[in-house]
Amino acid sequence: MSFLRRMLGGGTPGPTAGTPAATGAAPEVDEAARDRELLREEAARLSDDLIARQIRYADRKWTPPTQGGERRADDAAAPEG
């Protein structure tokens, strides 16, 4: 939506609630604050029991066995019928 506003000249949007306001501080301080905010959001997102369980058991997921053999339809060396 903001892309369309910028393209159509709808003005500059103000700071959103999710982004910290730009301060006159050094870029390293702003980046560190942004990193802390991202880590806080990630921790809140992963605090759900279902998501935590999915991540915990992701390496044990079941995949169906492959069907058919090694030979494929475009094999040139395979004899016809």
Q: Please indicate whether residue 24 or residue 43 has the higher confidence score (pLDDT).
A: 43
Percent of the chain with pLDDT over 90: 15
Question: pTM value?
Answer: 0.35
Closest CA to 43 of 35, 10, 61, 2: 35
Whether 18 has a pLDDT exceeding 80, the answer reads no
DSSP state letter for 40: H
Give CA separation, 7 vs 11, 16, 20, 68, in Å: 10, 19, 24, 52
Q: Please indicate whether residue 17 or residue 61 has the higher confidence score (pLDDT).
A: 61
Distance CA 81, CA 71 (A): 13
Whether 28 has a pLDDT exceeding 70, the answer reads yes
